[in-house]
Amino acid sequence: MLGLMPADDGSAGGTPPPGPAASALPGPDYGAVLWEPGPQVIGNARITQYRHWLASQRHIGTDGYHDLWQWSVSQPGQFWESLWDYFGVIGQRGEGPALSGGPMPDTHWFPGTTINYARNALRTADTDPTRIAVIARDEEGRQVTLTYSELAAEVARVRAGLVAVGVTEGDRVAAYLPNVPEALIGLLAAASLGAIWSSCSPDFGAHSVIDRFAQITPKVLFAVGGYRYGGKEFSREQAVREIVSALPGLAAVIIVGDRSVPEAGVTTLPFAALPGSHGGQLEYAEVPFGHPLWVLYSSGTTGLPKAIVHSHGGIVLEHLKALCLHQDLRAGDVFFWYTTTGWMMWNYLAGGLLAGVTIVLYDGSATYPGTGALWSLAASSKVTYFGTGAPYLMACAKAGLSPGQELDLAGLRGIGSTGSPLPPEGFRWVYQHVGSDLLLGSFSGGTDLCTGFVGPCPLLPVRAGVIAGPCLGAKVEAYDPDGKPVTGEVGELVITAPMPSMPVGFWNDPAGDRYRASYFSAYPGVWRHGDWITMLAGGGCVIFGRSDATLNRGGVRMGTSEFYRVVERLPEIADSLVVDTGQLGADGRLVLYVVLAAGHELDDGLLSRIEAALRAELSPRHVPDEIHQVPGIPRTLSGKKLEVPVRKILLGTPVAEAADPDALANPEVLALFAPPAAPT
């Protein structure tokens, strides 16, 4: 999920277990209106301006957001073509229809059209060259700023360096970099050439990086010899040597920063002094609409990660729509999202350049030197849109922070929440302790589409624990076990109309077999995402977690997110993970693992409080069969709990086969979940 977010693994999974439908809302504290847009907010919203443009230029009148959304999904070709014209996308439109073919995935977008992502991202360099494009900060407070003109000049310089080492259209350019300007410059330089970008953050282990990059055989690798996180220095020299030795097609390694990396049999160049003709005008390769822009990777738990390919045209249109119409970004905004280069939110953050805003790149820990580090960054950088993960917001609430009272956040207009479902108390904390007059947008989608497809809208109220609804152009529905759409019930999250940022395919999957099996095998012609969702009759939706990690007790199904909400609200619990070992609809053991807050013990009193809270707020069926204390919960590098791998381990899968340790933030804790060996 992205909501919510990133649902990276869209594999087919199992059929939803039978059972009575859940209530429309999971509890009485859901749904309270916390914020409503006033006339000034609605009048100034970019989506309002778009509606006026539709009426005057296309003679399409819409009565509020729901009517606009209905038109966007019933006439997808017209809708996406209107965005091209409304935003003035730079490219050659061509003569073909916006959408042809079908059913999904056999759809075709904008045939005959040519475009370049980098040209659109850097257009402000021509219209307002002194506008700040990038503010880059690290844990130590060091800051670099680049205007759009300076950014374009750096892209031109690095582009010339890539050409000098032989990179051409269609080649792959990979990066093993933290969230620093050099990564953004590399992306734009590669895209300007029509080369294909892919990145991993340096907290990935060498094995995990090789599993990703070896699939795409890059010609150039950007890399660092080390990085800083949480006040500590980490060397990556040995990891870079291992990665380089596993990529025999490399023509050059470009080293970022002042740490040297020993020679590994490949030409090594410093980022600051690349070869090539510098100082010339930046050029762009005009490529077809569906030309690959970048390769992102799922966080699959077994086998090689899916190498997901997105297109220049699809990403330009989707990110303009999501950032401008849903998150209401506009010129003058300062846009921040806490992310690393290994998560799709980094690519989404880069998309802020398409909207002509200032983007903030932060390299470091969200909680160093204290839990409020990101709020201090927001205040000093004058951030107007602040994006982070739901776990960070909840950590701030548990720590008793009140950043709105402690810091100058007067310019903050919006907050985005991703990574996992944000519970009602998280919504309330934002409005009570950050700001009472801002758009809080819980946003859900995933790496698969590199966007959110349910999320906020500045025309709609914000309700506790509820996502405002499907985004424009995203026909999101909930399916029951028979593949029928349902409202007010928990169902499989599906997308029943095509979107241009759906992958153009997977790398090394020329016939599309793996792509089809991942998303379209459960419901032919319909994208199955792999999450549980409830679509509410009055608008809005609630996501409950991965459908392949569902709890099934006595025929009643419930997503894991609501379980965590109840357990982690207890002050004694710092983190938790719940697993149901049942198979094929049969009940198994419901096992709860908890990480305790400092100074607490898992004694009989705490066990009783956990059980009482679950019984009262959910049902007696959801009282665990077992509760165990563990020192940590296994998570991916992007922060997602590994429910499915732990379940596999409990059912007998060896730890080494359940998940790739190099893709985990804390691989050492995964072995703690293995059943004890039988006595010999």
At 233, list the tokens.
Answer: 């220095």
Mean pLDDT of all residues in the chain? 89
Spatial contact of 468 and 462, defined as CB atoms under 8 Å apart: yes
542 and 500 Cβ atoms separated by less than 8 Å:
no
CB-based contact 593:626 (threshold 8 Å):
no
User: Between the CA of residue 131 and those of 134, 146, 323, 413, 583, what are the distances in Å?
Assistant: 9, 9, 19, 20, 57
User: To which residue do tokens 């805003």 refer?
Assistant: 357
Digit-coded pLDDT (tens) for 586-628: 457 889 999 999 889 999 999 999 998 887 777 677 788 899 9
- At residue 9, the pLDDT reads 31
Distance CA 557, CA 642 (A): 19
Tokens of 151: 């950014």
Give residue 408's region: left, alpha or beta (phi > 0; psi -120 to 50): beta
What is the C-alpha to C-alpha distance for residues 223 and 593, in angstroms, rounded to an integer?
A: 38
The edge-to-edge listing of strands for the beta sheet with 469-470 is 444-446, 451-455, 469-470
Within 10 angstroms of residue 373's Cβ, the number of other Cβ atoms is 18
Q: Are 526 and 520 in contact (CB under 8 A)?
A: yes
* Paired tokens of 503: 């992958």
Sequence-distant (6+) residues with CB within 8 A of 637 are: 201, 203, 204, 340, 342, 343, 663, 664, 665
C-alpha torsion 628→634→640→643, nearest 10: -50
Phi, psi of 43 (to 5 degrees): -65, -35
Q: How far apart are CA 677 and CA 177, in angstroms?
A: 40
Q: Which two tokens stand for residue 664?
A: 């985990």
pLDDT of residue 583: 52
Torsion, Cα 248 250 251 254, to 10 degrees, reads: -140
Residue 357 tokens read as 């805003």
pLDDT at 263: 64
Which residues touch 618 (CB under 8 Å, ≥6 apart)?
Answer: 558, 562, 563, 566
Q: How many CA atoms lie within 13 A of 324 on its CB side?
A: 23
- Half-sphere exposure (CA, 13 Å, Cβ side) for 496? 15
State the Cα–Cα distance between residues 467 and 4, nearest whole angstrom: 9
Sign of CA dihedral 356, 358, 363, 369: negative
d(CA 509, CA 591): 38
Query: Going by C-beta distance under 8 Å and a sequence separation of 6 or more, which residues neighbour residue 558?
Result: 22, 490, 544, 550, 551, 618, 622
- Residue 557 has what pLDDT? 55
pLDDT of residue 3: 31
- How far apart CA 333 and CA 387 sit, in angstroms, is 13
Percentages of the chain per state (helix, strand, coil), in multiples of 5 = 30, 25, 45
d(CA 388, CA 131): 25
User: Which helix (H) or strand (E) covers residue 218, if one does?
Assistant: none
Of the candidates 431, 472, 478, the one whose C-alpha atom is nearest the C-alpha of residue 454 is 472
> In the Cβ-directed half-sphere of 176, how many Cα atoms lie within 13 Å?
33
Residue 64: which region, alpha, beta or left (left: phi > 0; alpha: psi -120 to 50)?
Answer: left
User: How is residue 160 written in tokens?
Assistant: 């010339």
**In which residue ranges of the chain is pLDDT below 50?**
1-23, 301-302, 584-586, 678-680
**Residues in the chain, total:** 680
User: What is the C-alpha to C-alpha distance for residues 298 and 238, in angstroms, rounded to an integer?
Assistant: 25
Q: What is the pLDDT of residue 388?
A: 96
Structure confidence at residue 651 (pLDDT): 78
- Count of C-beta atoms within a 10 Å radius of residue 356: 20
DSSP for 19-47 reads -PPPPSSSSTTS--EEE---HHHHHH-HH
What tokens does 663 get? 């893709």
Q: Hey, what amino acid is at 45? A: A
